[in-house]
Amino acid sequence: MIWDDFLNSMWRDWRGSGRSEDRLESPEWIGQWLSEHRLTAPHLPSPQEMVELKKLRDLLLRIVQAFAAGSQPDPEDLGELNRVMADGPVVRQIVQTDQRYRLDCVPTLLGWTQIGAEIAASFAHTLADKDPARMRICSNPDCLWVYYDDTRNRSKRYCDDKLCGNLMKVRRFRARKKAGD
């Protein structure tokens, strides 16, 4: 999804070195993310556009944090989400592929304001058509990766059980051993 990849542009070393990297600042990362989600930007974000993107990232993260904590987002944050979407209008278009028809929402503007609206819309789509209570933040405090829990019993606690899950298991084991000494 556009929105969770966007949120995870804030990368942290899950192994606990304390290293982190804001990949939104990396032109390579931006280029890859845009092409993966078939978004088009006329240029890299200007300093002001970067400020707006980071504000949007903070906004979405606040909403995810609310859901991940089993609560509801602040209505003001939802209002802000609507405002971001309103700045990037779309037109509806019917598209024929073979014998089938698809209804597309085609962005009308080209630029980072429109891309911000597309990110917000991808998030709003998950809110409306999926289960926002399944939004998660990895339980490894060094990782904090954002993901959507699509497991059947909604029990996914880590972004990756083999990586963060195992690491935390080892940490708990060591803590218990230390407490037992």
- The binding site for Zn ion (CB under 5 A) comprises 14, 138, 140, 143, 145, 159, 164
Residue (8 or 140) nearer to Zn ion, CB: 140
Q: How far separated are the first and last CA of the chain, in Å rounded? A: 47
| Residues paired with 147 in a beta bridge | 136
Residue pair 156/162 in contact by the 8 Å Cβ criterion = no
Print burial letters for 40-63: b (CB count within 10 Å at least 16), e (below 16): eeeeebeeebeebbbebbebbbeb
Residue (88 or 156) nearer to Zn ion, CB: 156
Smallest gap, in angstroms, from Cβ of residue 167 to Zn ion?
Answer: 8
Residue pair 81/123 in contact by the 8 Å Cβ criterion = yes
Smallest gap, in angstroms, from Cβ of residue 73 to Zn ion?
Answer: 23
Pull the structure tokens for residue 22. Answer: 């804001």
Smallest gap, in angstroms, from Cβ of residue 175 to Zn ion?
Answer: 18
Smallest gap, in angstroms, from Cβ of residue 174 to Zn ion?
Answer: 18
Residue (123 or 145) nearer to Zn ion, CB: 145
| Residues paired with 20 in a beta bridge | 12
CA–CA separation, 141 vs 98, rounded Å? 49
Smallest gap, in angstroms, from Cβ of residue 159 to Zn ion?
Answer: 3
Angle between the 47-68 and 112-129 helix axes, to the nearest 10 degrees? 10
Residue (122 or 140) nearer to Zn ion, CB: 140
Residue (115 or 144) nearer to Zn ion, CB: 144
